[in-house]
Structure 1
Amino acid sequence: MGENDQLDRAVKDFIWNIVEIHSQLEEINKGWAGMMGITEPQWLILMAIDELDQGRGVPGIAVANKLRIHPAFVTNQTKKLEEAGFLSRMTSPDDARFLQISLTQKALSEITNLSKMREALNSTMFTGLDETSLDYLNKRLAAIAKNSQLASQKLSIGVL
């Protein structure tokens, strides 16, 4: 097997591993969502807000960008999550045209209640990897994500 064949095989293996990981993460997220009585996309919206909020709320567009979904979908789902008591949506003090979305105490409590199970699950998923290994892996994955975005753009405009 030549060097190019080995690289091709390694790339294919990588892609199929990512597909498998994505599939398993979807199932895990469905499980967490089910425990809270919400849908998987709603769970991901809550997780994105939890990740992005630094105490002032998060604009819906930031959530949409983080999840790579349409802002209108975020608006629709955050209204439902607000009705369910998981989110509060307040007018931005900087620009009245925008809303700042925050998790409510109910959402924070529900997420905290799941934290022990989430820690156990993460421990299972990342068995054999220490902090240094995960940091190394995350840096490489970030580079691949950036490069794959460029490749996707090139493909869409026909320059490949």
Structure 2
Amino acid sequence: MGEKDQLDKAVTDFIWNIVEIHSQLEEIHKGWAEMMGISEPQWLIMMAIDEIDEGRGVSGIAVANKLRIHPAFVTNQTKKLEENGLLSRVTSPEDARYLQISLTEKARAEIAGLSNKRQALNLTMFAGLDEASLDYLNKRLASIAKNSRLASQKLSIGVL
């Protein structure tokens, strides 16, 4: 097998591994969501808020950008999560056109209640990888993500 064929095979293997990982992560997110009595997209919205909130709440646009979904979907789902007492949505003091969304204490308590299971799951998923290995892997994946966005843009405008 030539060098180009080996690279093509390695890329194909990588892509199928990512597809498999994505599929397994979807199942895991569905499981966490079911434990909280919400949908998988709602779980992901809550996790995005938890990730990017620095104590002042986050905008729906920031959540949509993090998850790569439409802001209107975030608005619709955060209203439902607010009705369930899991999110707080307040008008931004800087700009009344925007809401600041944050997790409620109820949501934080429910997520904390899952922490032992989440730690056990992470230990299972990343068995054999130490912190340095994960850091290295994350840097490589971030680079691939950036390059894949560029490739997607080039494909969509007909450059590739």
The answer, yes or no, to whether TM exceeds 0.5 is yes
1:21-71 Cα shifts (integer Å, max 9, x gaps): 000000000000000000000000000000000000000000000000000
How far 1:150 sits from its partner (Å)?
0.2
Distance 2:95 2:3 in 1: 56
Q: In the TM superposition, what are the counterparts of 1:6-155 in structure 2 within 5 Å?
A: 6-155=6-155
Segments of 5+ residues of structure 1 without an aligned counterpart are: none
Distance 1:97 1:91 in 2: 7
Q: TM-score, normalised by structure 2?
A: 1.00
Q: TM-score, normalised by structure 1?
A: 1.00
Distance 1:141 1:108 in 2: 29
How far 1:93 sits from its partner (Å)?
1.1
How far 1:131 sits from its partner (Å)?
0.2
Distance 1:126 1:76 in 2: 34
1:52-97 Cα shifts (integer Å, max 9, x gaps): 0000000000000000000000000000000000000000111110
Percent of aligned positions that are identical: 82
Distance 1:148 1:55 in 2: 32
**For residue 128 of structure 2, what is the amino acid of its counterpart?**
G
1:72-123 Cα shifts (integer Å, max 9, x gaps): 0000000000000000000011111000000000000000000000000000
Runs of 4+ in 1 over 4 A off after TM superposition: none
1:3-38 Cα shifts (integer Å, max 9, x gaps): 000000000000000000000000000000000000
Q: What number of residue pairs does the alignment pair up?
A: 160
RMSD, matched Cα: 0.3
Segments of 5+ residues of structure 2 without an aligned counterpart are: none
